[in-house]
């Protein structure tokens, strides 16, 4: 089994990928799960990031959860380091990794290792000041002049990615798009990738139900506790947290915050789907109702036959 390829289960938020991964892992004592999620790396951000339960984490080894405090910034480079170490440890123990992936860039950093550029804090600080004063669209226009290839791959509203691309371009003196083979190339990789695909109306319903369930489970209280401590810019922008921080700051009612969480999560799910569907190496499993029952036979067959 040491030669068996890691299995990737990916999909948009609320698609059921975590449930499917747990069902697969429970069938195989050599399976270990690796979370590929930009927000599950933060400690004490549990409900809103839909982290695996304590019982699940006892039943099956999990990796890349609770890596840093919410006050800390966390980058794709940091994730690559942590996930690479986890995958090596799993393979060295003659076990098999199952990657549960919702953050496309984090997944690509593992399946397609990148030439990761450095960091230029002074440049970044100035760019973030400008983003606050001028808005991300102004920075996107600058990026389009300096690195049109990178700019074409980013929405003008995606402040985090735009700032990072400009930081690297200005700080290094070379275009951000010149680092690595690029996100639009898809060479053969030693991973088997499966995606869970829902019709958008059905997924939208699942997202609304999931947000209401999170609220009932105590998401507001979780955010209230976080509000009493320093929270990094990245963690503060997490879906469900940003909106409730705004509510606690008096910017909106609780019901309005909940409605906004649902809307933004649906929008985020569409962006996730668009990101993943560009990759021709992904085998898609269409889900109509019950993700575990539909996907598990396909994954079980791949588990037994792939190497």
Q: Residue 203 sits in a domain of what CATH number?
A: 3.40.50.300
> What are 210's two structure tokens?
């999931």
**Same domain, yes or no: 96 and 192:** yes
Classify residue 177 as exposed, middle or buried by CB count within 10 Å of its CB (0-12, 13-18, 19+).
buried
**Same domain, yes or no: 199 and 129:** no
Is 199 domain-assigned?
yes
**Same domain, yes or no: 172 and 193:** no
The residue among 284, 291, 290 whose CA lies nearest residue 8 is 284
Overall average pLDDT of the 95-116 stretch: 91
User: In the prediction, which pLDDT does 2 show?
Assistant: 41
Is the predicted pLDDT of residue 184 greater than 80, yes or no? no
User: In the prediction, which pLDDT does 114 show?
Assistant: 72
**Same domain, yes or no: 129 and 90:** no
Give the Cα separation of 268 and 12 in Å (integer).
Answer: 8
User: In the prediction, which pLDDT does 183 show?
Assistant: 62
Give the Cα separation of 132 and 240 in Å (integer).
Answer: 21
How many Cβ atoms from other residues are within 10 Å of residue 125's Cβ?
Answer: 11
**Same domain, yes or no: 92 and 201:** yes
- Residue 202's contacts (CB-CB under 8 Å, 6 or more residues apart) are 288
Exposure on the CB side of residue 298, measured as CA atoms within 13 A: 20
User: pLDDT tens digit string along 3-15?
Assistant: 589 999 999 999 9
CATH number at residue 126: 1.10.20.140
How many Cβ atoms from other residues are within 10 Å of residue 142's Cβ?
Answer: 18
**What does pLDDT average to over the chain?**
94
User: In the prediction, which pLDDT does 237 show?
Assistant: 93
Overall average pLDDT of the 108-137 stretch: 90
Is 133 domain-assigned?
yes
Give the Cα separation of 118 and 121 in Å (integer).
Answer: 10
Give the domain extent around 126: 121-178
CA distances from 155 to 150, 151, 260 (A): 10, 8, 20
Give the Cα separation of 59 and 40 in Å (integer).
Answer: 19
**Same domain, yes or no: 76 and 197:** yes
**Same domain, yes or no: 157 and 203:** no
Each as own residue / partner, the long-range contacts of residues 236-244 (CB below 8 Å, 24 or more positions apart, any chain) are 237/160, 238/39, 238/42, 238/45, 238/48, 238/49, 239/13, 239/39, 239/48, 239/264, 239/265, 239/268, 240/48, 240/211, 240/214, 240/265, 241/45, 241/48, 244/219, 244/220
Is 159 domain-assigned?
yes
Give yes or no for a contact between 9 and 21, defined as CB atoms under 8 angstroms apart.
yes
User: pLDDT tens digit string along 5-62?
Assistant: 999 999 999 999 999 999 999 999 999 999 999 999 999 999 999 999 999 999 999 9
**For the chain, where are the E strands, in sequence order?**
7-10, 31-36, 62-63, 96-101, 192-198, 282-287
Give the Cα separation of 207 and 255 in Å (integer).
Answer: 16
Q: pTM of the predicted model, to two decimals?
A: 0.82
User: pLDDT tens digit string along 218-272?
Assistant: 999 999 999 999 999 999 999 999 999 999 999 999 999 999 999 999 999 999 9
**Same domain, yes or no: 51 and 151:** no
**Same domain, yes or no: 29 and 56:** yes
Give yes or no for a contact between 276 and 172, defined as CB atoms under 8 angstroms apart.
no
* Number of domains the chain contains: 2
**Same domain, yes or no: 91 and 125:** no
Q: Which residues pair with 194 in a beta bridge?
A: 9, 283
CA 110 to chain centroid, in Å, comes to 13
Kindly indicate the confidence band of residue 210, based on its pLDDT and cuts at 50, 70 and 90: very high
């Amino acid at each position: 089994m040491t030669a068996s390829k890691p299995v990737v289960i990916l999909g948009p938020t609320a698609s059921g990928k975590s449930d499917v991964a747990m069902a697969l892992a429970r069938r195989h004592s050599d399976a270990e799960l690796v979370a590929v999620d930009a927000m599950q790396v933060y400690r004490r951000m549990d409900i809103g990031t839909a982290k695996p339960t304590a019982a699940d984490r006892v039943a099956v080894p999990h990796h890349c959860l609770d890596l840093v405090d919410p006050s800390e910034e966390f980058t794709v480079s940091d994730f690559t380091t942590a996930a690479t170490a986890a995958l090596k440890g799993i393979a060295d123990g003659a076990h098999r990794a199952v990657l549960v992936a919702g953050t496309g860039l984090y997944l690509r950093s593992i399946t397609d290792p990148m030439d990761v550029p450095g960091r230029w804090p002074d440049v970044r600080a100035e760019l973030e000041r400008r983003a606050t004063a001028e808005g991300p669209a102004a920075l996107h226009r600058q990026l389009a002049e300096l690195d049109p290839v990178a700019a074409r791959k980013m929405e003008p509203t995606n402040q985090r990615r735009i700032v990072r691309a400009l930081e690297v371009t200005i700080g290094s003196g070379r275009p951000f798009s010149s680092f690595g083979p690029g996100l639009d190339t898809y060479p053969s990789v030693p991973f088997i990738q499966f995606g869970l695909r829902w019709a958008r109306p059905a997924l939208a319903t699942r997202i609304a139900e999931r947000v209401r369930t999170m609220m009932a489970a105590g998401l507001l209280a979780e955010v209230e506790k976080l509000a009493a401590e320093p929270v990094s810019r990245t963690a503060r922008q997490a879906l469900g947290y940003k909106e409730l921080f705004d509510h606690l700051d008096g910017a909106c009612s609780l019901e309005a915050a909940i409605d906004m969480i649902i809307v933004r999560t649906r929008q985020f799910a569409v962006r996730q789907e668009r990101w993943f569907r560009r990759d021709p190496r992904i085998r898609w499993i269409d889900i109509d109702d019950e993700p575990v029952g539909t996907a598990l036979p396909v994954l079980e067959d791949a588990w037994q036959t792939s190497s």
